């Protein structure tokens, strides 16, 4: 029963797991955590570490309120912003709300219903484009491929539907409560929103192909991001975000994750209970990097290990890259003038002494 | 990287460069500011402000989402902030008097996320329709916060100090770069006595406490979420929310005070540093004061007295004005180009870094000649460089002798052989003035023969600055379609009441004197 629940949670959290993996794709512990949906905070607790990452209840409430506000009254606020930004034509109409009830929707009761309704919607707009609603909230699509990541599910925040003589064009949108500060918008937040929209774009393209609806219905290569205007609840839409690269990144990333996972995941993992999987994650080899500090609750453990092993990663990625597998003590000795043992050490010594 | 390893070996942060590259104003001319905000919100929930060495003023509201309460909080702070910065003010008019570097008033904030709060304040209040009796003060708060934020993107700015960035620019900390962005972490290394292990332990302990305006989610979950719910419940039920409000204030006080103390500690560390402030900083301060006058004070005076000229409110994202954008771009470009040029003449370590990087060189003077005709003077030198050392010289490169900024020469000929690199330069600026330094001799003086002289690549900051002024009158120039074109479409701005208005771009504001 517990395994089934885990699987269900894993299916829902595909995007988050994918992004977690992408932050350090060379760490086996991270790969196992992403593949088996073993939360890093739980693993950290099991290792006796205090989890450092989490979400604020205020931020969650604000995000929920913002998203809900966008879709009220026939998505008036979102529609106005999308029309101003040129994502939708003026005078657009129609909202199809596929949000689950637990996420603020009014009709759709569960995952299966959402998948069914999304598929029905795609078939319907292919058959009769001119009746299409212009905004669709939270359609759910399935990434059909995968052994390690079976039936990956993605809920797309919003889709804008435009119809022309060429057919139906679907533009994916990502909604975030981040303040949009023009050119000063946090680059990390912007990048994560674009990456997530790229995953949506990839998944939607797969779904359309799977249903045989292309080219009557196409997923646009661009997307839109919905942020907040600082100091207000008004949406700020960033239109025409080119997602070509991000969608390709998602496609390659899922394939790569699958490939890497197959080499390290054991057959019995999928029947294992959570404590066993946590133990597997904790026992797996790691690859400590600066990026780990931004997402991984196990980073303090890896830092301690790197310190004990005198690894240069404790001084940053730049130092680690130049020193390679060399210890800090050896690098200091080379700086002090000891004779290098080989060409590699001679090169490091030259670089260290030149830069002083 | 060698510096990081050396700092690791020594077990403590090491000074980066021989001088400090930023002005450190006296304590009575410094205001330290720290913010706390509710996660997901862009307005402050609590603010701490005050001079180093004294207890800060601290104000907060029970719920950071209640607009009118937050406006009151901001108004309480705004008056002090404006008074502090403007205290260096009216006598700074460079049209009548030279800007006084000694009058520099600084605002110190813990890190870049606190500086970003200034931008959000600019968005929220620069054109607010709310605030009642405080409306004008809040608008002024939005304008000054907007200016403060914009000025931080100008290289060499001196008014607004990002304490975390200044510390990492001043010290080599033996740690991962990501970690050194945490002000508490860096201060743990800098202010703890003992060996490497002791300092590292202190740094890692400090790192567990957030410095960002957004608090640790754990603190927001417990106790703040429950307290805020209680406060709201009591308010809605016409009960007494005072008890919950007091408890919230206590939590916020501790959070914002800790952030303020870290920024104060950074200030104290830097004032206690033995290194002198680089002499070139004086020029940076003068430039900053000039910017302060033209981009803030003069406009504020016009807001107060329309007879002094048209005033406008800068949009928080851009200026929507091609000429202004081009001019500002060039001013920032000039600041960027000139920054190192001001400092390098007074910092041997900075010069050494440039030498390693090929942006500076030292050479022996082999020949001194005057190529001028008639009464004109055109001193030329033939220099010999070590051809094995890195350099970035090519014909037409402009160079300046180290320690004598203002003198300038241009590379005429490069003559390279296996053993020698001979470079002929001609002096072009201040060529009839003695070079500063031990010889105090004119460029054409034969005393230079055989001497080793150090040079740096000259910057074009002065030229770029002139272009920033000329762009305004370039309506018939080749780039006029860009610098003097009208906006392609009306631009909208969303107010804090979620209403959308058309932006009154700066052209309209200036030309028509529209009240906004």
CATH of domain B355-460: 2.40.30
Same domain (yes/no): A70, A201: yes
For range A141-159, the mean pLDDT: 75
Q: Which of B55, B73, B186 is nearest to B121 (CA)?
A: B73
Residue A14 pLDDT: 74
Same domain (yes/no): A115, A188: yes
Nearest chain A Cα distance for residue B374, angstroms: 48
Dihedrals phi, psi of A11, to nearest 5 degrees: -60, -40
Residue B312 pLDDT: 75
Secondary structure element (H or E) that encloses residue B151, with its range? helix B135-152
Give the per-residue SS3 of B276-333.
CECCCHHHHHHHHHHHHHHHHHHHHHHHHCHHHCCCCCCCCCCCCCHHHHHHHHHHHH
Pairing of strands B171-172, B360-370: unpaired
A227, A251, A275 - which closes a domain: A251
Residue A147 pLDDT: 52
Closest-approach residue (CA) in chain A for B150: A184
Q: Using an 8 Å CB-CB cutoff, list chain B residues near A322.
A: 1
Same domain (yes/no): A239, A273: no
* pLDDT one-digit tens code per residue, A229-247: 887 888 999 999 999 999 9
Contacts of B413 (CB under 8 A, 6+ apart): B395, B422, B423, B424
CB distance B329 to B318 below 8 Å: no
Q: CA A276 to CA A269: how far, in whole Å?
A: 8
Q: CA A213 to CA A124: how far, in whole Å?
A: 10
Same domain (yes/no): A242, A276: no
CB distance B23 to B72 below 8 Å: no
Distance, first Cα to last Cα, chain A: 61
Would A8 be classed as within a structural domain?
Answer: yes
Same domain (yes/no): A69, A98: yes
| Beta carbon pairs, A and B, within 8 Å | 137
CB distance B110 to B163 below 8 Å: yes
Token reading at B328: 């500002």
Same domain (yes/no): A282, A334: no
pLDDT tens digit at each of 516 positions of chain B = 889 999 999 999 999 999 999 999 999 999 999 999 999 999 999 999 999 999 999 999 999 999 999 999 999 999 999 999 987 655 555 555 555 667 899 999 999 999 999 999 999 999 888 888 999 999 999 999 999 999 999 999 999 999 999 999 999 999 999 999 999 999 999 999 999 999 999 999 999 999 999 999 999 999 999 999 999 999 988 888 999 999 999 999 999 999 999 999 999 999 999 999 999 999 999 999 989 988 888 888 888 887 877 777 788 887 777 888 888 999 999 999 999 999 999 999 999 999 988 999 999 999 999 998 888 899 999 999 988 888 889 999 999 999 998 899 999 999 988 788 999 999 999 999 999 877 789 999 999 999 999 999 999 898 999 988 888 888 888 778 778 876 555 555 555 555 555 554 444 444 444 443
Same domain (yes/no): A143, A231: yes
CA distances from B210 to A34, B262, B368, B452 (A): 27, 11, 61, 52
Would A247 be classed as within a structural domain?
Answer: yes
Secondary structure element (H or E) that encloses residue A300, with its range? helix A299-308
Q: Which of B7, B38, B40 to mutate to test the interface with A (most CBs of A within 10 A)?
A: B40
Q: CA B386 to CA B384: how far, in whole Å?
A: 7
Residue B99 pLDDT: 57
Residue B335 pLDDT: 96
CA angle B89, B95, B101 (to 5 degrees): 45
Residue B196 at interface with chain A, using a CB cutoff of 8 Å? no
Nearest chain A Cα distance for residue B177, angstroms: 6
Q: Which of B4, B5, B224 to mutate to test the interface with A (most CBs of A within 10 A)?
A: B5
Closest-approach residue (CA) in chain B for A80: B500
Q: Per-residue DSSP letters for A59-122?
A: HHHHHHHHHHHHHHHHHHHHHHHHHHHTSS-TT---EEE--BGGGT-SSB-SHHHHHHHHHHHH
Would A299 be classed as within a structural domain?
Answer: no
Would A274 be classed as within a structural domain?
Answer: yes
Q: CA B271 to CA B282: how far, in whole Å?
A: 17
CB distance B377 to B431 below 8 Å: yes
Asked if A56 and B221 come within 8 Å (Cβ–Cβ), the reply is: yes
Q: Per-residue DSSP letters for B356-401?
A: HHTSEEEEEEEEEEE---TT---EEEEEEE-TTS-----TT-EEEE
Residue B420 pLDDT: 87
Nearest chain A Cα distance for residue B324, angstroms: 17
* Chain mean pLDDT for chain A: 88
Question: Global pTM?
Answer: 0.90
Q: CA A114 to CA A207: how far, in whole Å?
A: 14
Q: CA B47 to CA B60: how far, in whole Å?
A: 6
Would A347 be classed as within a structural domain?
Answer: yes
Closest Cβ–Cβ partner in A181, A186, A229 for B494:
A229
Same domain (yes/no): A144, A225: yes
Same domain (yes/no): A130, A244: yes
Asked if A183 and B317 come within 8 Å (Cβ–Cβ), the reply is: yes
Same domain (yes/no): A36, A69: no
**Per-domain boundaries in chain B:** 2-272+291-304, 355-460
Would A257 be classed as within a structural domain?
Answer: no
Percent of chain A at pLDDT > 90 equals 62
Would A298 be classed as within a structural domain?
Answer: no
User: pLDDT class for A266, splitting at 50, 70, 90?
Assistant: confident
- In the numeric block, the tokens 């020949």 are attached to B367
CA angle B117, B119, B120 (to 5 degrees): 65
Domain that holds residue A350: 309-354
Residue B516 pLDDT: 35
Same domain (yes/no): A72, A98: yes
Query: Which of 84-123 (B) contact A at CB < 8 A?
Result: 116, 119-120, 123
CB distance B158 to B281 below 8 Å: yes
- In the numeric block, the tokens 């709060």 are attached to B117
* Number of domains observed in the structure of chain A: 3
Residue B301 pLDDT: 83
- Which three-class secondary structure state does DSSP give residue B488? coil
Whether the per-residue pLDDT at A10 is higher than 70: the answer is no
User: pLDDT class for A3, splitting at 50, 70, 90?
Assistant: very low
Q: CA A276 to CA A265: how far, in whole Å?
A: 13
Residue B508 pLDDT: 47
Same domain (yes/no): A325, A202: no
Q: Which of A161-165, A279-283, B37-41, B434-438 has the lowest mean pLDDT?
A: B434-438
Q: What is the DSSP letter of A52?
A: -
* pLDDT one-digit tens code per residue, A119-134: 999 999 999 999 999 9
Q: CA A353 to CA A349: how far, in whole Å?
A: 6
Pairing of strands A222-228, A235-242: antiparallel
Q: Which of A176, A231, A306, A312 to mutate to test the interface with B (most CBs of B within 10 A)?
A: A231
CB distance B27 to B53 below 8 Å: yes
């Amino acid at each position: 029963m517990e395994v089934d629940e885990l699987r269900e949670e894993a299916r829902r959290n595909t995007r988050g797991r994918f992004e977690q993996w992408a932050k350090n794709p060379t760490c086996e512990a991270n790969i196992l955590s992403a593949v088996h949906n073993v939360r890093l905070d739980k693993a950290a607790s099991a290792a006796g570490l205090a989890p450092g990452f989490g979400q604020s209840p205020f931020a969650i409430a604000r995000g929920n309120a913002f998203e809900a506000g966008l879709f009220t009254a026939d998505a008036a606020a979102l529609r106005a912003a999308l029309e101003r930004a040129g994502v939708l034509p003026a005078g657009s109409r129609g909202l199809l709300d596929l949000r689950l009830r637990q996420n603020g929707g009014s009709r759709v009761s569960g995952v299966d219903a959402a998948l069914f309704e999304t598929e029905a919607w795609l078939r319907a707009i292919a058959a009769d484009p001119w009746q299409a609603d212009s905004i669709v909230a939270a359609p759910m699509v399935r990434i059909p491929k995968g052994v390690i990541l079976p039936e990956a599910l993605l809920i797309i925040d919003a889709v804008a539907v435009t119809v022309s003589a060429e057919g139906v064009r679907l533009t994916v949108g990502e909604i975030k409560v981040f303040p949009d500060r023009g050119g000063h918008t946090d680059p990390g937040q912007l990048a994560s929103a674009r990456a997530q929209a790229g995953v949506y774009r990839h998944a939607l393209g797969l779904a359309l192909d799977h249903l045989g609806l292309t080219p009557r219905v196409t997923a646009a290569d661009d997307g839109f991001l919905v942020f907040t205007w600082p100091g207000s609840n008004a949406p700020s839409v960033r239109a025409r975000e080119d997602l070509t690269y991000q969608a390709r990144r998602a496609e390659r990333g899922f394939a790569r994750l699958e490939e890497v996972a197959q080499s390290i995941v054991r057959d019995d993992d999928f029947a294992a209970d959570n404590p066993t999987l946590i133990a597997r994650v904790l026992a797996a080899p790691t690859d400590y990097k600066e990026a780990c500090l931004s997402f991984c609750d196990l980073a303090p453990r890896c830092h301690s290990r790197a310190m004990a092993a005198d690894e240069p990663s404790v001084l940053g990625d730049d130092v680690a890259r130049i020193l390679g597998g060399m210890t800090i003590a050896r690098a200091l000795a080379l700086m002090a003038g000891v004779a290098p043992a080989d060409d590699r050490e001679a090169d490091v010594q030259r670089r260290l002494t030149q830069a002083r | 990287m060698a510096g990081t390893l050396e700092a690791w070996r020594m077990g403590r942060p090491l000074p980066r460069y021989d001088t400090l590259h930023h002005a450190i104003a006296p304590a009575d001319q410094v205001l330290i500011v720290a913010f706390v905000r509710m996660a997901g919100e862009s307005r402050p929930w609590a603010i701490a402000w005050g001079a180093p060495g004294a207890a800060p003023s601290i104000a907060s509201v029970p719920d950071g989402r209640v607009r009118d309460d937050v406006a009151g909080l901001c108004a309480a702070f705004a008056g002090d902030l404006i008074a502090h910065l403007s205290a260096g003010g009216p006598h700074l008019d460079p049209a009548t008097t030279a800007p006084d570097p000694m009058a520099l008033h600084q605002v110190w904030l813990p890190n870049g996320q606190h500086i970003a709060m200034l931008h959000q304040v600019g968005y929220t209040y620069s054109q607010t329709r709310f605030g009642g009796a405080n409306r004008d003060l809040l608008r002024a708060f939005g304008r000054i916060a907007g200016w403060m934020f914009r000025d931080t993107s100008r290289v060499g700015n001196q008014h607004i100090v990002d304490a975390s960035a200044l510390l990492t620019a001043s010290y080599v900390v033996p740690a991962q770069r990501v970690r050194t962005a945490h002000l508490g972490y860096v201060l743990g290394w800098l202010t703890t006595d003992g060996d490497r292990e002791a300092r590292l332990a202190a740094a890692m302990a400090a790192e567990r406490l957030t410095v960002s305006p957004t608090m640790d989610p754990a603190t927001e979950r417990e106790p703040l979420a429950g307290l805020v719910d209680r406060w709201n419940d009591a308010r809605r039920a016409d009960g007494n929310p005072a008890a919950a409000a007091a408890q919230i204030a206590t939590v916020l006080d501790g959070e914002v005070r800790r952030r303020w103390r870290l920024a104060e500690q950074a200030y104290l560390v830097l004032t206690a540093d033995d290194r002198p402030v680089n002499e070139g900083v004086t020029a940076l301060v003068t430039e900053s004061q000039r910017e302060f006058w033209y981009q803030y004070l003069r406009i504020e005076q016009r807001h107060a007295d329309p007879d002094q000229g048209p005033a406008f409110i800068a949009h928080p994202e851009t200026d929507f004005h091609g000429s202004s954008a081009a001019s500002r771009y060039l001013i920032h470009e000039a600041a960027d180009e000139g920054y190192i040029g001001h400092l390098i003449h007074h910092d041997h370590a900075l010069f050494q870094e440039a030498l390693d990087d090929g942006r500076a060189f030292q050479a022996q003077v082999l020949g001194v000649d005057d190529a001028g005709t008639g009464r004109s003077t055109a001193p030329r030198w033939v220099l010999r460089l070590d051809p094995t050392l890195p350099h970035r010289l090519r014909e037409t490169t402009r160079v300046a002798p180290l320690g004598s900024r203002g003198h300038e020469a241009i590379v005429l000929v490069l003559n390279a052989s296996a053993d020698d690199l001979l470079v002929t330069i001609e002096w072009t600026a201040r060529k009839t003035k003695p070079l500063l330094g031990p010889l105090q001799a004119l460029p054409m003086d034969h005393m230079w023969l055989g001497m080793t002289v150090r040079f740096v690549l000259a910057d074009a900051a002065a030229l770029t600055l002139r272009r920033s002024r000329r762009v305004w009158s370039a309506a018939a120039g080749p780039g006029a379609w860009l610098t003097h074109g009208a906006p392609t479409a009306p631009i909208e701005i969303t107010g804090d009441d979620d209403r959308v208005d058309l932006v009154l771009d700066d052209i309209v504001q200036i030309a028509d004197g529209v009240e906004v």
